[in-house]
Structure 1
């Protein structure tokens, strides 16, 4: 019977939750390996590590020994944790998951290497730099039956969770318009480190500039809001307002997503006067506007007055990346159709890829179904 169910899932283009993801005892922390130290988001994990009970760091893979030494000193880490060879480390240490803090271009290489050994991956957003890489990642996840997850800071915002709940519950009626603002003053302006800035502003290693760096947040939220459906078309305009700072990539973009009966506007930028990650959702029966990580403004029919409230706090399994990853590997959470899941992020990559093409050609791109 189990074999029949698995076969049916494969025919439908789906995969069951990997058996390996359910074999970590629920009362034990998951064992993780950090791969790469060139993505500055790794600092958040290392700061939180001493107080975290969901995960245990068992190794760090970083080929740049000088950078590794810098992190070892700054975070007072055991020298025995550090390695330079990815495959050898994974075979020797046998972790439950890798946390990937490489360039975005390197995501495919790391995910596939881990998958071949039955190891799950969580990468920093976005999933990859190209659709070819995204499909290769999907194929590796299916073939080796391991979860591949994507970490977005905004996934753990209770304000976003509340906005998505209002939409799902029909409180806003039919969604007609969504506007998402994401970005900051610019990576150089906010002091991004020298190990990060060069590749973040490289169109190959990062996929694009602000368009990929911040456009992915809105694309992720919209894909979940639209029940996993890709938009009908994508139209994008990109420009570089600070060519002396970002000569190779755009620092400002506007992306229009067209759905049946709805439009969304994504506004990723490295040219905001302040950092922001907020969303406006307009429906036939009400509106919801997120205000930072935890507050939300709503106006619902028949009331005429707008209200500002703090969204309900999220559970430990949904409020941070490690709690969520541990819950997946403990078999407590099914990563299907949510903000971190691979299926959602394949659609995100469709949107980003189409937006990049649209901005380069000046034409609207009509999306086609993904090959199965």
Structure 2
């Protein structure tokens, strides 16, 4: 009897391991976001399998599939057709922000998990529908930001909350952007909606303002700001006639403040962040570089130190590995950078920023 029980236990254990070892069956919704190259060109790691792609523009789909040596029979003209034929467990959306809601409306009732590119939604009305559907149908709904996978941000968070090295946060300054999407060579398919005020919700204020809103909400552990104040400009109206290309957003909290500088006018690409606390500061210079100056809040002779960091370990180093781990129950994403709780607030901040820029007044949340 004991031998039989042992055999049964071993069989269950092996079956469970096999189930979790199977790659996540992943579908792709849309090819018009240039970030789609991240998944199409991703080296095979055994954790994710692309089972189908949905893109109404057949020429675009075939061009990309050929470029990455992927079979043409992965292509379907609609998301509904792709889901019916391939039965994915999860879908990654690489279409316009406006279309994120539709992806969730199709996937959620079928129990299919969704990860969208930043930000979560084009406005709060869309976000509320998406959140309600995710909760009703018990799916994971994540938002992918490149900056989530930066070692510097995770180390900074640990310095603040794990080691209490900075004291309370007083000011955060976030710089994000580049020369402009057209200037850096974004595809025409991407530009067609990225520079559209309806499909994208705005210009630089959305495209790069979302990074700072995401990071600050995470650093504040999901706390909403008291006020949102924003100024936007069109420095290149001949290039971007419909949307802003320059934005500054100020968030106020009871005892701290954030300044988010989002631009399509930087001379160089940048994604960096400065965090100032009561006892010191941390400067996150992109992915693996960091500068710190830490004291006790009294000494004035603290010396700035440069730190070279190592890459994050799997599955925290890659959006698709992370997505798979969340779906398998290995990670709980509550209030992290990809979480629904944080990113619903991000959309509220962005919508308030657009409103503030239009009215010239601070918006209270």
Whether TM exceeds 0.5 here: the answer is yes
Partner of 1:197: 191
Tell whether the 8 Å contact from 1:131 to 1:350 is kept in structure 2 after alignment: yes
Tell whether the 8 Å contact from 2:66 to 2:72 is kept in structure 1 after alignment: no
1:16-31 to structure 2, matched below 5 A, reads 25-31=19-25
Give the root-mean-square deviation of aligned CA atoms.
1.4
Partner of 1:14: none
Partner of 1:76: 69
4+ runs deviating over 3 angstroms: none
Q: TM-score under structure 1 normalisation?
A: 0.91
Kindly state the Cα deviation for residue 274 of structure 1 after the two structures are TM-superposed.
0.4
Q: Could you tell which deviates more after superposition, 77-86 or 298-307?
A: 298-307
**1:88 matched to 2:81:** yes
State the secondary structure of the residue aligned to 1:224. helix
**1:116 matched to 2:109:** yes
State the secondary structure of the residue aligned to 1:288. strand
**Out of 139, 152, 161, which is 2:154 matched to?**
161
Query: Number of residues paired by the alignment?
Result: 345
Whose radius of gyration is greater, 1 or 2?
A: 2
Partner of 1:329: 327
**1:284 matched to 2:263:** no
Structure 2: stretches of 5+ with no match in the other structure: 1-15
Cα distance between partner residues in 2 of 1:154 and 1:133 = 24
Partner of 2:209: 215
Cα distance between partner residues in 2 of 1:72 and 1:87 = 20
Kindly state the Cα deviation for residue 112 of structure 1 after the two structures are TM-superposed.
1.7
**Out of 119, 122, 131, which is 1:138 matched to?**
131
Tell whether the 8 Å contact from 1:297 to 1:309 is kept in structure 2 after alignment: yes
Cα distance between partner residues in 1 of 2:18 and 2:235 = 49
Kindly state the Cα deviation for residue 23 of structure 1 after the two structures are TM-superposed.
11
Summarize the Cα distance change of 1:24–1:351 in structure 2 as closer, same or farther, 3 Å threshold.
Answer: farther
**1:361 matched to 2:359:** yes
Structure 1: stretches of 5+ with no match in the other structure: 1-21, 368-372
Q: Deviations over 1:116-146 (max 9, x none)?
A: 1000001000001010000000000011000
Q: Deviations over 1:59-82 (max 9, x none)?
A: 000011111121122122211100
Tell whether the 8 Å contact from 2:275 to 2:282 is kept in structure 1 after alignment: yes
Tell whether the 8 Å contact from 1:241 to 1:251 is kept in structure 2 after alignment: yes
Q: TM-score under structure 2 normalisation?
A: 0.92
Kindly state the Cα deviation for residue 24 of structure 1 after the two structures are TM-superposed.
9.2
Q: Could you tell which deviates more after superposition, 38-47 or 299-308?
A: 299-308
Q: Deviations over 1:61-107 (max 9, x none)?
A: 00111111211221222111000121132133111110100111000
Cα distance between partner residues in 2 of 1:167 and 1:224 = 12
